[in-house]
Homo-oligomer: A and B are copies of this chain.
Amino acid sequence: MTARATIKDVAKAAGVSFTTVSLAFQEDSRISAKRRRQILAIARELGYSPNQQARALRSGRTRTIGVLVNDIVNPFYALVTRAAQNAANRRGYEVVITDTQFVRERETQEIRNMIHARVEGVLACFGESVEESSKLLEHGRVPYLALDTVPQTYRGPYVANDVPAAARIAVEHLIRIGCRHPVFLSGDEGSRSFSAFVALEKAFLETLRVHGVDANQRHLFSAGLTIDAGRNAMRRVHAEFPEVDALLSANSLCAMGAMEVASQLGLCIGSDLAVIGIDDLDICSLERISLTTIRQPFEQLAEVATNILLDCLERKTDPDVRLVLQPELIVRSSTTRRR
């Protein structure tokens, strides 16, 4: 295995200077089409591919942005990365996708990696380490934009879902159909302090109070973002808050797990127990699931955010946007009028 071909090998083989080869690869107008074709053919023959590192080092540009999400296995986040990738590619940028797995140290490590890799900008679904992460990005002079949700203390730019509105819309629907004892299923013990969960809990309780329900901490349960988390949470809810007549879950997978256990406990979903999940995966629409959800416009979110970020990179201005997109209620059979 000999060394990889460089621009000089191509130049030698083509009988030109290596500058000419460089210009040919940049599709510079000074090189004639014919010559360009010759050079590219020889390059292909030699298996030459321009070294990105050298190019970036010299030009100071990588044409790459980073996208950080909390959980790539959750289709919600995967769709965010896909929308960002498509938007970026359309404008000639590449995307590097990184997954924090909801782990604090992973998040900061991935941010550091992106800075080392000299991404030109970052789109981030920040977790709990938002302060440290945004400090790193600022220190590293990397323009960034928060996506999805942001904590109240966050002062940077963002394109986010209106998280309190999600809880408010859900609770208003539950009240409207006659529920008086709703429970909120939040993140697990470890992640419940995440800003999104805090905001949901707060808006959940406040909206209940506005409608005359004396809501308090008893109405809030830690759960998690998986089916199993919902199963376990429902058992606890049933034991500790037997008068429950509605569930709002921070996530639809969790809601599905809770529905399963509730049925096993003899509750009829819809009439005995209304259930709403936040986010709106394809499977929620399955007749067998038919889960009422709060749909958040996450693909639009990612696309808008990507374009704003790229605009800023190209104008060399700092991102300065505070945009909040509204969620939408999708009513299905898991919430029917009380009997």
Contact = CB atoms under 8 A, between A and B. Distances in A.
Interface string A257-290: 1011001100000000000000000110111110
A117 B52 contact: yes
Interface string A193-217: 0000000000000000000000000
A57 interface: yes
A113 interface: yes
A96 to B, nearest CB: 6
A72 interface: yes
B283 A260 contact: no
A286 B256 contact: yes
A81 interface: yes
A239 interface: no
Q: Which of A72, A94, A116, A260 has the most CB of B within 10 A?
A: A72
Interface string A52-81: 111011000010000000001111001101
Interface stretch (A43-51, A151-159, A322-330): A43-51
A97 interface: yes
Q: How many copies of this chain are found per oligomer?
A: 2
A116 B49 contact: yes
A59 to B, nearest CB: 10
Contacts of A116: 49-52
Interface in A111-156: 112-113, 115-118, 139-141
A97 B94 CA distance: 12
Contacts of A289: 286, 288-289
A232 interface: no
Interface in A86-127: 94, 96-99, 101, 112-113, 115-118
Nearest to A81: B72
A30 interface: no
Q: Which of A82, A97, A99, A286 has the most CB of B within 10 A?
A: A286
B57 A53 contact: yes
A85 interface: yes
Given A52-B117, A139-B47, A283 B72 contact: no
A62 B233 CA distance: 45
Contacts of A4: 140-141
Contact of A285 (B140, B227, B259): B227
A160 B288 CA distance: 33
B283 A256 contact: yes
Nearest to A95: B98
Interface in A142-200: none
A50 to B, nearest CB: 6
A62 B96 CA distance: 15
17 contacts: A4-B140, A47-B140, A51-B57, A52-B118, A53-B62, A72-B82, A73-B79, A74-B75, A81-B99, A82-B99, A94-B113, A96-B96, A97-B97, A253-B282, A253-B283, A263-B287, A288-B288
9 closest Cβ contacts across the A-B interface?
A: A47-B139, A73-B78, A52-B116, A53-B53, A53-B57, A288-B288, A97-B97, A53-B56, A72-B78
